[in-house]
Structure 1
Amino acid sequence: MTSTDPTSSAAAPETAATDGAAGERAPGNTSGAARQAVADMATGPFAVVAAVELVPVDCAGMALYSPAYSHYTRRMVQARPELAEIVAQARDQPLTRAWMAARLKVLHEPSADVDDAIKRALRRLRAEVMCVVIERDLRGQSTLGEVTGAMTDLAELGIQYGLAMLEADLAPTYGRPVGESSGEVQELVVVGMGKLGGRELNVSSDIDLIFLYDEDGDTRGGQRSLSNHEYFIRLGRRLINLLADVTADGYVFRVDMRLRPNGDAGPLACSFGMLEQYLMVQGREWERYAWIKGRVVSALDTPHAQRTAAQLASLTTPFVFRRYLDYGVIAAIRSLHAQIRAEAAKRSGGLAAPGGGQRVNQRAFNIKLGRGGIREIEFMAQVFQLIRGGQDPALRIRPTLEVLAVAVEHGLLPAGQAEQLAHAYRFLRQLEHRLQYRDDAQTHHLPTSEEEQLAVAKMMGCADWPALLERLASLQDPVAQQFEATFSDPDEAHAPCEALWPALIQEEQDEPPCERLASAGFSDCAGLLDRLRAIGGSLRYRALSEPSRVRFDLLVNRALDLASRQEDADRTIARFVDFLDAISRRASYLSLLSEYPQAMARVADTLHASSWAAAYLTRHPQLLDELLDSDALAGAPDWAGFRSRLATRLDAADGQIEAQMDILRREHHAETFRILLQDLQGMLTVEQIADRLSDLADAMLEVTLQAVWRQLATRHAEQPRFAVIAYGKLGGKELGYASDLDIIFLYEDEHERAPDVYAAYARRLITWLTSHTAAGTLFDVDTRLRPNGEAGLLVTSFEGFRRYQQREGDNTAWVWEHQALTRARFCAGDPGIGAHFESLRDEILRQPRDAATLRGEIVVMRHKVAEGHPNPSGLFDLKHDRGGMVDIEFTVQYLVLLHSHDHPALTRNAGNIALLRTAGEIGLIDATLAREVGDAYRLFRARQHQLRLDGQVHARVAPAVVAQQAEHVRTLWQAVFGEPVAAGGK
């Protein structure tokens, strides 16, 4: 049997699931915070096994702990007495790759038989490394990361040194392999999988390897020629023998090649083209888990080797990490884990974990594959990687503890749970090593003899065996509980609802389908039945895979059940059916809702509460992920943290413009959705919603500005001297869910190319903001409030803007442009330009103005606006009808422009309600009327907001509903402008 069928043998999925343990070595792409989290896990409660009080033995005058507790060390020292001195000299410093390389040079004695000479040197080196590692570990001088790192260094050194020697030996006969297209010398690409790939090797681990090469071709320069394929197979076989043959000196590493394409049935070495085809056509789910830790372990010291490593990464990354949130992996891991646990139980005689449930023979428990063991912790780390790694490159790391740290940093896992998992993980890995120190055996089973039990207990710092078992159970039980909570089958945990679907559309039924729907609480049964029949008969439904159809059927039944409990069941189920139909072809979303019933319940609440929210979620189903994080749904935004995280994600995708644009859209949609969910739960006022949406827009603009500037080939400076000025709703921080952004662009730069550079920059920025991508749209942008509107330049120098607003020269601002300036503010870009703008705005607003002239111009403008928004409905338009919001806004703008010269407090961009209150306090208008109109404005905005959420195009209500508030507004208008306005008048 080959390893490509995980059901045929437990060996393949067991290997594929990776045997990872995390050392302290953080890869270069791990964030500082994540590295700090990993460092924290190495101290305090995570320093699981301290220095152990052990009895040393005298070996050639050297006091060593290891021979007394490791049969392997005792045998090695007896066979090579000089080992005692080597260990004594090396034990006070961590082992390094340089030390191993130096020892290998000493140990390698060239001879006519190249293979035998290398074998002897590598095996003797392994004995030295093992003895030093064991001694340092038992003395409490090394960390888990040092042990696994040393063994990984040994494996890499053996592979790279062996390849170099073998290639040199083959060269006279066969020459070097050359690519037929490039003409470049080819090199064997050795990929380390599992523990080796993650730099996590235990002391008696196999190494899982895959042999690859870039191009087909033939060898050149030797006595004979071979195809590259034949050459690399021959080289690979000799390398395996070099490492794995058992000689009088032992072996270096057992080598497992079953993870290669087609397993044992596939060629020993394959080309990149073959690997790519295999992953696309035949790659299994468990192979994705294996490739998470895949890493090139052959030498990368040539340009060709570096290019092929990058090429391999670009080939395997899309296979491992899906571009979408892949919740289907939960069921796949659940199934894989069940196979592995069944196989482990079979090997152990059906045993349970120590301290948990009935045990046939607890002493033979498998600490790797059993309940609460190493594998369950690895699975819990990998599930974050497989679900989210396609969208978050920070999760594409290898060591298990680092994955847990990043999951905490990104809010995916509570810190307390990560601490429990990391604590147990370190203890189990250290116990694993001590089990293997005894006889250099690849074992994960607890010992059965009393002598072995006592020795292992003392090596772990415990007084006796029962104490070790008690400690072990206290760590494994929380792991098992977390694992079961993460991977439990939701169908087993929740009572199934009545299975109305798909029985409703079947011809033979005991009860008429409409009666069944009516009894479930639906009124428009005929309409619902027609819709369900249309779905059941559609090509989309029939084309679903069997697993997806099962999940879809389950979700339709849950939807019918959840909708029937809502106040308006018909409205809710109609939106639910639209939503499920839209996501039916996305297996990942079906998996998410199947795995998390609580998310399905929140979908029901969202769809019921608002048609706008229902449409938004249906357009952006990736937002389903947000329904899983209860803490995020309840908390206030951290905008500094949001900008930092978003900038980091954009940096990781630098150079991939489409990917960066998708990242911006997904993050904006997600944050908007969080605000929307809090809104629907009544947690926010309309003012708070507008503030948050405006702050979100500011953050998006700021981060996008930086990303676009880095992509601009014509840029002439490290940072742009460029600013975005917000007008309208964004300027007044009154943004709604679907509001346009009214913005203009200013620059302050004397460089000769500045006008052209910033014009191109602004055009690129608008493209990034407005383009429709696979992730949807970001914003609609309106730049018509720039000087001279659509006829003006897209980008204006600050000095030109100043002259225009100050009315210097022939081309000057109109009164309505000064009105717009009352709601303008700097929102993103160069803070220096922003400060200059705010100072200029204050100066312009405080200019003395003639009351009659200003009053006349604003009244004329108000009539023009009213004429542009006719309302034949007989309802009251909250925004545009007389007595509505525009009347309030125009009144405030008039007061600001007329009186700021004498009352600078009016220049604050504080919003209409606050400015009305200020005008009342200083006696410009009646204070009571100011308060009443402010309350009216608040009410109008709240009703407008609710109508928008209900899907209304126009914010219109019955006149009687707001008659009193509208009358207050008309009274204020007459008091300020001396112009009476009839109810509903234009």
Structure 2
Amino acid sequence: MADDLTVSWSDAIARAEAHAPFLRRMMEMRPDLVSDIRAGKLDAAMQRALALQPSTIDEAGMANLVIARQLRLARGDMMLALALGDLAGALSFQQVARALSDFADVCLQSALESIFARRYDCAPTGFAVIALGKLGGHELNYSSDIDPIFLFDPETMPSRRKETPHDAAQRVGRELIALLSERDGDGHVFRVDMRLRPESEVSPMVLPIRSAISHYESRALTWERAAFIRSRQAAGCETLGQYFLQEIQPFVWRRSLDFGTIDAIGELTRRIRAHHKGEQLPAPGFNLKTGRGGIREIEFFAQSQQLVHGGRNPELRSGNTLEALAALATEQIIAGDQAEALSQSYVKLRTIEHRLQMVEDRQTHSLPEDMPALNNVAQLHGLADSEVLIQQLRSVCSMASTHYDDLLVRQGVATGADPDEDEGVSLFSDEEPVLIAELSDMGFADPKSIAGRLADWRSGKVKALRTPQSRAAFENQIGALFAAIREEQGDVDAINRLDSMLQQLPSVLDLFHLLAARPALIGILARLLCHAPALSKALAMRASLIDGIVDASIFDRQDDLAAIIAELEQRDGCDDLGLMLERVATDIAERRFAIGVQLIEGRTDPLDAALDYSRIAEATIAVVTDRVTQEFVQQHGQVPGGELVILAMGRLGGEALTHASDLDLVYLFTGAHDARSDGPKPLSGTQYFNRLAQRVSAGLSLPTATGPLYEVDTRLRPSGMQGLLAASMESFWDYQRKKAWTWEHMALCRARPVYGSQQARNGLSHGIAGLLGSGRVAEAIAKDALAMRGDMAKAKPPKGPWDAKLAGGALVDLEFCIHTQQLIHGQGLSPHLGQALAMLVDHKLLSPDLIEAHNFLTRLLVMSRLVTPQDNSPAEASRPLVAQACGMTQWDEVTEHYQYYTDIVRAARIAILGAIPTLDHG
């Protein structure tokens, strides 16, 4: 028995090392944990991880371990233990999924306790976390998001002075998400997906409990009922959570038999199948979750029967899919052999899903299209090759699909992916006077002009609308789209943007069929047309971007730098540099568009969006520079001992880009400036790296249909525009030590190396820290900073009353406060403003109130740059979106907070630097 166990562990560890880079890295960092597991101490290892006692930290180190690192390290232990136990056959799928879910609960609770203890010096009260999705069903994926709903009770939620319970709850919610999802060298804990909360497009992150109950009692949808089958109280105030779940029981479990639920789920199935038109059976690229006969169809099978019968039979209400299938069989709702077959299929699909995710700890559900990668997954599972794996999956999915289709057919639900379309019926009159009256009744300010536009579309002037099928699809949806535009207070500008988009489309069939199949997309498209000029322009130039909204992945974070780089490098499958750059530009446009959609839809915190914009830019720099350098080396060879190093400054340096941000870059190079390259056309070091830098800038500034890929600004280099584009490290340091002005050292406070070898980056970062950390004469620095801020106020006055960057008391003032204190005291030396500010607060060099001011003003800036890029004064119709992005419900709250926080920042700047007449009058 012991020998068999030893062989099992040895084989599992060998497969993990050979086929799962993530697990291999985890094992290399945790040799003692691997030894324990190999010795049969798996359960003890799991219990230590569940107790948040990382294997890499001794007892003495635990006392000084911050909660974020403690959770991340414990997560690494748990993931490694579960993976090896799974691969060795020591743990069943159910045990793995339950352990992951239990660990997520512990992390949620521990994180909440830490936040409440620090903010309010009490245990979590008045705040509850409701788990939905796979976490709610105790069947979490190996690399899954968690899907919670956050609730608070205004009567029991603690708050600070000048903080309402609502504000307190939102701050706790945002901090909880950040603590769990932010990634560093130890990885992350869990990605948090808040899209299952009620009306997530407009609702605050944390919901008042009465508002949430009211939603589910009055206007919730079928899919929300299905979501709450897998709901439970996971963390926070148990009394509050259980009260909420008890109150919404009548919404989830209706006493009357509700076969309309199956119709709704059948329609959802048809749409899913319609938008996944690849292989009908498993093959390379097959999606185990959404493919035919996949995980989702088995879950829908169980959930539909639970919703139909669970109101009368409480035995059917388990949130766990396997338990639900067993209960349905026990209660004779489905046949026992059917339940057993579906359960076996579910376990097989989920197990292979776990194998996919073990490779690199990525939340993926699709089989690799690349055959070596698919073979790797099969061998990780212990199979000979991908052919065996595909055959097993085909058998599983074929059987599951048959059972699922039989269920829908019995209820009279169509299951095909391409049903015949109904003939279009015009929702608007063809007679001009009547049409103008209809448009006027809808609230359009210039109905005559818009009627003329509609007449042009109907006349065939737009190529995409010339066929009867196109016109029918168009007429079926245009009324709903116009109504959605008016609901967003859009008018002629939005219609003109729609016209620009239609003019570019080769056909409107896909677009309007898509809107018919996914009515929610009508609202999204209307919001983009009404509130996001940059995104509307992108759609007009590349209407195919709308296709991405169908895929829920458009709402995924873009914060994994390594993953973005890897995905961009996949675009580099051609010899032609220009073609490669065009492909990268297309990919980047899609990613930046996705973040813009997330902001407009309220699916992401603008602070997260700023980070994601930055990660995308940094990945672009890495991939473009690598490829440009490869081609450059073919012509000119390499400079011995030399390499290009890129230093990001400004908002990119601080990882806080907006949709409209430039890239502030400084090009540096190592090695001797007069060394010669060794290629066919040799150059001196200075010539070599300056020409290379020019080409990199050109690649990053590649013209696209919607403008340059990025605007590159290199004016922060030594000596500015008069200096060489690329400076040697030696000359850079000589300049910084002997010639640089105070403002240049202030700019250096947000400098961050983003390209070059790790050794070169580390050396550059160390040198910057040493230069800035030496401390300076307070009076001189404050005097220089005041003069610079005054000059900036004259040269760049605020663009409007809501200029969150340039107005008095806005972000530039806060930056001056932070950088001045950094230079004077040599403390808080992080390029990230938020981190630097927190460090300076810890050293009692700045007020804690400035942290909330920074977060509020940054959110306002990021959103303003998207909805009103010209003057930073949100239009009346766009103000609710901006308020939502700032964590508020009303524009009046935004104005109050803006005044409050700018007063705080202005007071701090006056105290540190002094007053500036143009900013501080009155």
Counterpart position of 2:606: 686
> Which moved further from structure 2: 558-567 or 958-967?
958-967
Match of residue 725, structure 1, among 640, 647, 657: 647
Match of residue 489, structure 1, among 400, 419, 422: 419
CA gap of 1:523–1:790, structure 2 versus 1, over 3 A, is: closer
Q: Which amino acid aligns with 1:976?
A: I
CA gap of 1:832–1:562, structure 2 versus 1, over 3 A, is: same
Other structure's SS at 1:803 match: helix
How many angstroms apart in 2 are the aligned matches of 1:967 and 1:731?
A: 27
CA gap of 1:381–1:611, structure 2 versus 1, over 3 A, is: closer
Q: Which amino acid aligns with 1:794?
A: L
In the alignment, is the contact (CA less than 8 A) between 2:669 and 2:726 conserved in 1?
yes
Counterpart position of 1:406: 285
Give the number of equivalent residue pairs: 523
How many angstroms apart in 1 are the aligned matches of 2:555 and 2:638?
A: 41
Q: Which amino acid aligns with 1:708?
A: V
Other structure's SS at 2:647 match: strand
Counterpart position of 1:889: 815
| Structure 1 segment 128-167 matched on structure 2, within 5 A | none
Task: Work out whether 1:921 is the aligned partner of 2:842.
Answer: yes
Quote how far apart the aligned CAs of 1:676 are.
1.8
| Structure 1 segment 956-971 matched on structure 2, within 5 A | 956=873, 962-971=898-907
Other structure's SS at 1:714 match: helix
Counterpart position of 2:671: 749
CA gap of 1:876–1:606, structure 2 versus 1, over 3 A, is: closer
- Kindly, what percent of the aligned residue pairs are identical? 20
Task: Work out whether 1:702 is the aligned partner of 2:629.
Answer: no
How many angstroms apart in 1 are the aligned matches of 2:494 and 2:655?
A: 31
CA gap of 1:702–1:484, structure 2 versus 1, over 3 A, is: farther
Match of residue 771, structure 2, among 844, 850, 859: 844
CA gap of 1:624–1:408, structure 2 versus 1, over 3 A, is: same
How many angstroms apart in 2 are the aligned matches of 1:635 and 1:966?
A: 30
Counterpart position of 1:582: 501
In the superposition, the TM-score normalised over structure 1's length comes to: 0.48
Other structure's SS at 2:658 match: coil
Bigger radius of gyration among the two: 1
Other structure's SS at 2:438 match: helix
Quote how far apart the aligned CAs of 1:953 are.
1.0
Other structure's SS at 1:606 match: helix
How many angstroms apart in 2 are the aligned matches of 1:917 and 1:472?
A: 56
In the alignment, is the contact (CA less than 8 A) between 1:882 and 1:981 conserved in 2?
no
Match of residue 862, structure 2, among 945, 957, 974: 945
In the alignment, is the contact (CA less than 8 A) between 1:563 and 1:572 conserved in 2?
no
How many angstroms apart in 1 are the aligned matches of 2:480 and 2:275?
A: 34
Counterpart position of 1:69: none
> Which moved further from structure 2: 671-680 or 550-559?
550-559
In the alignment, is the contact (CA less than 8 A) between 2:653 and 2:750 conserved in 1?
yes
Quote how far apart the aligned CAs of 1:473 are.
8.1
| Structure 1 segment 435-584 matched on structure 2, within 5 A | 487-489=417-419, 491-492=421-422, 499-501=426-428, 503-504=429-430, 506=431, 512-519=434-441, 522=444, 524-536=446-458, 540-541=461-462, 543-544=463-464, 546-547=466-467, 550-552=469-471, 554-555=473-474, 557-565=476-484, 568=487, 571=490, 574-576=493-495, 578-584=497-503
Quote how far apart the aligned CAs of 1:814 are.
1.6
Match of residue 720, structure 2, among 767, 789, 810: 789
In the alignment, is the contact (CA less than 8 A) between 2:647 and 2:752 conserved in 1?
yes
How many angstroms apart in 1 are the aligned matches of 2:523 and 2:741?
A: 54
Counterpart position of 1:974: 910
How many angstroms apart in 2 are the aligned matches of 1:471 and 1:976?
A: 67
In the alignment, is the contact (CA less than 8 A) between 2:649 and 2:750 conserved in 1?
yes
In the alignment, is the contact (CA less than 8 A) between 1:731 and 1:824 conserved in 2?
yes
In the alignment, is the contact (CA less than 8 A) between 1:878 and 1:885 conserved in 2?
yes
In the alignment, is the contact (CA less than 8 A) between 1:723 and 1:745 conserved in 2?
yes
User: 1:529-582: CA deviations, max 9, x gaps?
Assistant: 1332344457x42x55743x6325533541321331456366167525522443
CA gap of 1:544–1:955, structure 2 versus 1, over 3 A, is: closer
In the alignment, is the contact (CA less than 8 A) between 1:694 and 1:734 conserved in 2?
yes
Counterpart position of 2:112: none
How many angstroms apart in 2 are the aligned matches of 1:738 and 1:623?
A: 18
In the alignment, is the contact (CA less than 8 A) between 1:887 and 1:969 conserved in 2?
yes
Counterpart position of 1:799: 730
How many angstroms apart in 2 are the aligned matches of 1:605 and 1:980?
A: 40
How many angstroms apart in 1 are the aligned matches of 2:478 and 2:811?
A: 40
How many angstroms apart in 2 are the aligned matches of 1:409 and 1:890?
A: 52
Counterpart position of 1:880: 806
Other structure's SS at 1:796 match: strand
Q: Which amino acid aligns with 1:752?
A: R
| Structure 1 segment 49-64 matched on structure 2, within 5 A | none
In the superposition, the TM-score normalised over structure 2's length comes to: 0.51
> Which moved further from structure 2: 476-485 or 598-607?
476-485
Counterpart position of 2:880: none
Quote how far apart the aligned CAs of 1:619 are.
3.2
CA gap of 1:569–1:942, structure 2 versus 1, over 3 A, is: closer
Counterpart position of 2:378: none
Q: Which amino acid aligns with 1:835?
A: N
Task: Work out whether 1:767 is the aligned partner of 2:698.
Answer: yes
Stretches of structure 1 lacking an aligned partner (at least 5 in a row): 1-31, 34-375, 386-399, 424-468
Task: Work out whether 1:663 is the aligned partner of 2:562.
Answer: no
How many angstroms apart in 2 are the aligned matches of 1:952 and 1:513?
A: 34
Q: Which amino acid aligns with 2:667?
A: F
How many angstroms apart in 1 are the aligned matches of 2:297 and 2:576?
A: 33
Counterpart position of 2:797: 870
| Structure 1 segment 204-219 matched on structure 2, within 5 A | none
CA gap of 1:572–1:700, structure 2 versus 1, over 3 A, is: farther
Quote how far apart the aligned CAs of 1:620 are.
3.0
Instruction: Provide the alpha-carbon RMSD of the alignment.
Output: 4.2
| Structure 1 segment 373-452 matched on structure 2, within 5 A | 384=278, 404-408=283-287, 416=295
How many angstroms apart in 2 are the aligned matches of 1:720 and 1:476?
A: 63
How many angstroms apart in 2 are the aligned matches of 1:663 and 1:530?
A: 38
Stretches of structure 2 lacking an aligned partner (at least 5 in a row): 1-18, 21-269, 299-340, 346-394, 678-684, 875-893
User: 1:772-820: CA deviations, max 9, x gaps?
Assistant: 145753100001111111111111122221222122xxxx222111010
Counterpart position of 1:899: 825
Q: Which amino acid aligns with 1:825?
A: R
User: 1:607-646: CA deviations, max 9, x gaps?
Assistant: 3453443333323322112111124424565432222122
Counterpart position of 1:861: 788
How many angstroms apart in 1 are the aligned matches of 2:556 and 2:785?
A: 44
How many angstroms apart in 1 are the aligned matches of 2:540 and 2:296?
A: 33
How many angstroms apart in 1 are the aligned matches of 2:714 and 2:396?
A: 69
How many angstroms apart in 1 are the aligned matches of 2:553 and 2:275?
A: 20
Quote how far apart the aligned CAs of 1:837 are.
0.9
How many angstroms apart in 2 are the aligned matches of 1:776 and 1:668?
A: 13
Quote how far apart the aligned CAs of 1:950 are.
2.4
In the alignment, is the contact (CA less than 8 A) between 2:489 and 2:530 conserved in 1?
no
User: 1:23-78: CA deviations, max 9, x gaps?
Assistant: xxxxxxxxx99xxxxxxxxxxxxxxxxxxxxxxxxxxxxxxxxxxxxxxxxxxxxx
Q: Which amino acid aligns with 2:851?
A: G
CA gap of 1:765–1:473, structure 2 versus 1, over 3 A, is: closer
How many angstroms apart in 1 are the aligned matches of 2:400 and 2:749?
A: 65
| Structure 1 segment 324-339 matched on structure 2, within 5 A | none
How many angstroms apart in 2 are the aligned matches of 1:413 and 1:760?
A: 53
How many angstroms apart in 2 are the aligned matches of 1:882 and 1:736?
A: 20
Other structure's SS at 1:742 match: strand
